[in-house]
Structure 1
Amino acid sequence: MPRPWRPFAAAKCCTVEDHVILGNLSRCRPSRSQFSKKKVAELASFRRLSSSDLSGASSARFNEELAHSFGAGLHAFQLSELRKITHDFSSNYLLGEGGFGTVHKGYVDDRMRPGLKAQAVAVKLLDMEGRQGHREWLTEVIFLGQFRHPHLVKLIGYCCEDEERLLVYEFMPRGSLENHLFKRISATLSWGTRLKIAIGAAKGLAFLHGSEKPVIYRDFKTSNILLDSDFTAKLSDFGLAKMGPEGEDTHVTTRVMGTHGYAAPEYVMTGHLTTKSDVYSYGVVLLELLTGRRAMDKNRSKSEEKLVNWAKPYLTSSRKLRCIIDPKFGGQYSIKGARQVASLALQCISPNPNDRPRMSAAVQILEGLRHLKDMAVNSGAWPATPIAGRNAISAKTKMNNLANARRRSISTKLA
């Protein structure tokens, strides 16, 4: 029987897949060797802790393990320091909120830590009663503590003090891709900018998939793609990341976790996770960039609720594709580029994982579209005047004609 969809769990005890582990920090805490790069594949063994499992002394030992593993690569902040730079996590400095808790803006100066430059930062404050817990926090520290890449958000440091769990990242001034695509307050992203974002996000995934031991991101979506001042895309939130299969294994079997509309169908049905699961999610994001529609939108009719199901019939024909292109482009998009992106998206969302391309191949395809200048509005493939505007002009003209006819009729009768 297929497994039903299960949202993020908020277990009160330490859980690893289907096993329940009880005990104190010394039992749940990974050993020093498990933090080494050679042992990163054992991340799946990290357990979630309940608040009662932690004490000040245990947290101190825990910090020692992290400091030994990452050295100067990450900074261990004190809670008092993070309170200070965020004005006690003031709502005036709130950047966002999610299942993990809240994110606040702060500013560190170069006197706070040796080797730490003055900069704006984003401080994620974990809500231990929320949908993500210590295990997700630790997973993120491990992955981003090791990996450095232009298209991954940089983790600057962390705080593990008593039961508090915090992460400190570089500040991304343009926020998430989700906000730019779907919030009315944001200016429309141009075709060139969307293509740049798609390439950057693809490079981030390609890096993870191509590492010595492949990493499966598992929660690729627009809200986890952050943008810097130049709209360079960087992947964030690695709490659900998993190491990929090793040796002769073809997949990793795990609990189904993620976001409706983005998760690959075979993963939802079986719990079998591969790098091709990320490729499917990437294809969904490509469709969001093309259409300006959300992966799941319950405000739409049943037939249009799920973006993949609605868009799929339009992706094989240039004439049909024009019907689903985001109208906010106003015709300022490449016809050939849109056709290629649609074709790539269709491959990515294939029901058969083996038919989906590697992310490295997706990067090559998208890189080749940057030079295209065949804008739809210049080729006559898009009306110079928006349809809504033309209809409004037509209606106004009809009203004027009717009024003139009435005046002529009245004049004739008077005469």
Structure 2
Amino acid sequence: MGCCPSAPNSGDEDASGTNINYPHPSAEGTTPFRQYSLAEIMAATDGFSWDNIIAKGGGTIPNYVFRGRLPETQQIAVKRFSKNAWPDVEQFRKEAIRAGRLRHRRLVNLIGYCCDKDERLLVAEFMPNDSLDYRLFNAKNKTMEWSMRLRVACYIAEALEYCSNIEGQALYHDLSPYKILFDEADNPCLSCFGLVKNHRNGRYYCSPYMPPECRSGMITPKSMIFGLGYMIRDLVSGRQIPQDHEMLEMVVGKQIPIRPDSRLKGEYSAEDATALLELASQCMRHKPNDRPTIKDVIATLAQVQSNAAGPSNAGDSEGT
């Protein structure tokens, strides 16, 4: 059975009668969005084989991400939620369709979903060049260059600005180095899976990467700013801040000093590193209204990038 037919006309209905507004063919990223059958996903992932697991999400309700391949040889990533995460099938369907409308060059395309029987599945394009956490924190890897770290910060901020500005303000949940993936051209992209969060009984279940307000079930555009600040700290320091709740409270409340990554050996100026750490500190302020806007963040990142010794986007096949 073909899995990626030509995009239907806008306004087509899925199997449940839900109206789907597919991305326009002229939009960035033209892979059509559709509903998959469980049989298609089972075939693509070899029956959710453990050998195909590429990530596991923690938190109150765990989830798994599987590598898969469609008959047309397109590689995919499939996020598998439990029924407990989304007991309301219609709510899951609506959230998936809403996220599937988004298309931006800094955002991984969500190309489909499945809510057959007890399954709640999201289907995305596969990113072949690992994630930021693997590149940045794995001591066996080559040290990530300063220019690439700046590129990551700028590109992810750009993706979040897109999410903030579109109609209805799509909120991105649980931004972390695990959600930043690299495409075939080695450009950093934001995983689309963060647009559809584990949901049950009207509450969002958060990991330690989330800001304090999310623990009471509240999330706003300023919550995304907190996660961006956390990521900028990681990029500058090159090490992972412990993720338990007590440490996070200490990091936010006491502003523990973070030193730049010693492996960079002078690739950056002290002024640029200081500016980024100050920006991260502002983004991680306890009260949401005290955090900067996404436009303020982008302006600061652009200034640091322009101060860098060389163009940080060299080699970007898309340009900026």
| CA shift digits 1:297-341 (9 cap, x unpaired) | 56xxx879954456x254xxxxxx6xx112232332233321221
2:37 aligns with one of 43, 64, 78: 78
Secondary structure at 1:63's aligned position in 2? coil
Q: Deviations over 1:71-113 (max 9, x none)?
A: 5841222222222222233333321222453222222244xxx
- How far did residue 200 of structure 1 move? 1.3
Q: Which residue of 1 aligns with 2:117?
A: 162
Q: SS state of the match for residue 305, structure 2?
A: coil
* TM-score in terms of structure 2 length: 0.75
Q: Provide closer, same or farther for how the CA distance between residues 369 and 86 of structure 1 changes in structure 2, counting only shifts above 3 A.
A: same
1:75–1:286 Cα change, 3 Å: same
Matched, 1:214 2:169: yes
Specify which of 170, 190, 199 is matched with residue 234 of structure 1: 190
Residue in structure 1 matching 2:15, options 45, 54, 63:
63
User: Which aligned pairs between 1:270-349 and structure 2 lie closer than 5 A?
Assistant: 271-297=217-243, 306-308=250-252, 312=255, 314=257, 324-349=259-284
Output one character per residue of 1:146-190: Cα deviation in whole Å (capped at 9) or x when no partner: 211122220112223222232211001123222222233433221
Unaligned runs of 5+ in 2: 1-10, 24-31, 311-320
Distance 2:86 2:141 in 1: 29
The within-5 A match list for 1:47-196 is: 63-66=15-18, 68-70=19-21, 73-99=32-58, 100-110=62-72, 118-128=73-83, 137-138=92-93, 140-196=95-151
The runs of 5 or more residues in structure 1 that have no matched partner are 1-35, 37-60, 111-117, 243-253, 315-320, 376-415
CA contact (8 A) 1:287 1:345 kept: yes
- Please, what is the CA RMSD of the aligned residues? 3.2
- 1:43 is aligned to none
C-alpha distance in 2, partners of 1:266/1:325? 28
1:258 corresponds to which letter in structure 2?
C
1-side partners of 2:180 and 2:296: how far apart? 20
For the 8 Å contact 2:99–2:196, the answer to whether it is kept is: no
* Map of 1:385 onto structure 2: none
DSSP-derived class of the 2:104 partner? coil
SS of match in other structure, 1:124: strand
Alpha carbons of structure 1 residues 92 and 293: separation in structure 2 relative to 1, 3 Å:
same
1:257 to 2:208 alignment: no
User: What count of residue pairs does the alignment treat as equivalent?
Assistant: 283
Contact 2:252 2:285 in 1 (8 A): no
- Tell me the residue number matched to 1:224: 179
Q: CA deviation at 1:256?
A: 5.8
Give the C-alpha shift of residue 342 in structure 1: 1.4
* 1:365 alignment partner in structure 2: 300
Q: What is the one-letter code of the residue matched to 2:157?
A: A
Partner secondary structure for residue 354 of structure 1: helix
CA distance in 2, matches of 1:309, 1:352: 11
Q: Between Structure 1 and Structure 2, which shows a larger proportion of helix residues?
A: 1
- State the partner residue of 2:7: none
Give the Cα separation in 1 of the matches to 2:86 and 2:226: 23
Output the CA distance in 1 between the equivalents of 2:284 and 2:248. Answer: 17
The CA distance in 2 between the partners of 1:306 and 1:351, in whole Å, is 11
Identity %: 29
